[in-house]
């Protein structure tokens, strides 16, 4: 159905589709009582997501590695939306020390937290280990967000309980989750340089994003928390994320030009899942073009999701004392 909507531009069951924009899918939403964190909000769809959250009245905190670019985004938002409440805070997701510092700074401010949009990421980069000794795409795209979410989860649950407003966690995944390694997640070969494939490593990290959201949704539902967790595929959008794959992206665009989106279209699904009233109570699902889609069998594997959770906990706990 996702390919069909991309081809025809017809809306799906939600009334939105491939061509819908971030403003359209949040039209009429009042988020003035909400606080939203957007990671990777210094460019691309992260910056657009932050802008639209602010447009709908939310207090937006942009977590970004590039503080100079993030401050430019903040200034641009405030110039176009004089009433906007936007803050920036340094966040390097590949560094667990940086993730913990970001979370500490946020919690110290004693702000509520209604929405967490795990948007930041790297794509198809050459083999490299993070400062914590973990393959860079897995460390940035999955593990940094896993840790950040866990550190902020009690704040989200408390906010939801006290405000009566459902908390929402949105993980940006990708259709690229279909292109992972044969075993899905290479628990025993995560850092294996000899067999590293940049595109499969990216697919692995994007599969992890879905599995993380699914297992988180299961746990939150089990304890009765008023917080949902979902994953989204934003679509094909040419942004800084693709800086390591210029030749590949050029070839891909030549054969799939009709499937590429503008930045406002690319941010639409994140914004829809984060704010649209129709998403109330929906959790543990995967969305594309603002409609629920069926992810791969590996992405729906509950045992794999639980194993990834335990594996991720071990990785973040092993660096905590450093």
Q: What is the DSSP string of 219-284?
A: HHHHHT-SEEEEEEE--B--SGGGTT-HHHHHHHHHHHGGGB--HHHHTHHHHHHHH-GGGTT--S
Annotated catalytic, 196? yes
Alpha-carbon gap, residue 264 to 247, rounded angstroms: 24
Residue 116 · residue 170 · CB < 8 Å: yes
Q: How many residues does the chain have?
A: 322
Helix (H) or strand (E) holding 320: helix 302-320
The active-site residue out of 127, 196, 272, 286 is 196
Pairing of strands 291-293, 167-172: unpaired
Long-range contacts of 180-187 (CB under 8 A, 24+ apart): 180/204, 180/206, 180/207, 180/298, 184/298, 184/301, 184/304, 185/211, 185/304, 185/307, 185/308, 185/311, 187/307, 187/311
The token duo for 255 is 């054969």
Q: Packing angle between helix 144-163 and helix 302-320, nearest 10 degrees?
A: 100
The token duo for 288 is 């594309």
Alpha-carbon gap, residue 303 to 163, rounded angstroms: 34
The token duo for 109 is 């401010």
313, HSE (Cβ side, Cα atoms, 13 Å): 9
Annotated active-site positions, please? 196
């Amino acid at each position: 159905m996702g390919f069909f909507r991309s081809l025809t531009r017809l809306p799906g069951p939600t009334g939105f589709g491939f061509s819908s924009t971030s403003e359209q899918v949040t039209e009429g939403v009042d988020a003035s009582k909400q606080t939203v964190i957007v990671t990777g909000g210094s460019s691309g769809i992260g910056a657009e997501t932050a802008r639209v959250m602010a447009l709908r009245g939310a207090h937006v905190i942009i977590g970004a590695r590039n503080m100079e670019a993030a401050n430019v985004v903040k200034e641009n938002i405030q110039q176009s939306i004089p009433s906007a409440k936007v803050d920036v805070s340094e966040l390097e997701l590949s560094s667990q020390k940086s993730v913990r510092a970001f979370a500490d700074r946020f919690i110290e401010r004693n702000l509520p937290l209604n929405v967490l949009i795990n948007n930041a990421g790297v794509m198809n980069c050459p083999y490299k280990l993070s400062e914590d000794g973990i393959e860079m795409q897995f460390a940035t795209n999955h593990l940094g967000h896993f840790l950040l979410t866990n550190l902020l989860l009690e704040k989200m649950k408390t906010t939801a309980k006290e405000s009566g407003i459902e908390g929402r966690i949105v993980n940006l995944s990708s259709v690229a989750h279909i292109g992972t390694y044969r075993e899905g997640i290479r628990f025993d070969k995560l850092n294996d340089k000899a067999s590293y494939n940049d595109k499969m490593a990216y697919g692995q990290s994007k599969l992890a994003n879905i599995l993380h959201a699914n297992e988180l949704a299961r746990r939150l539902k089990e304890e009765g928390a008023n917080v949902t967790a979902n994953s989204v595929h934003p679509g094909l959008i040419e942004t800084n994320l693709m800086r390591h794959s210029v030749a590949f992206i050029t070839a891909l665009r030549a054969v799939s030009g009709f499937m590429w989106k503008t930045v406002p279209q690319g941010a639409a699904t994140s914004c829809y899942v984060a704010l649209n009233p129709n998403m109330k109570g929906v959790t543990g699902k995967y969305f594309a073009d603002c409609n629920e889609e069926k992810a791969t069998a590996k992405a729906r594997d509950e045992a794999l999701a639980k194993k990834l959770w335990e594996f991720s906990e071990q990785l973040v706990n092993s660096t905590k004392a450093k």
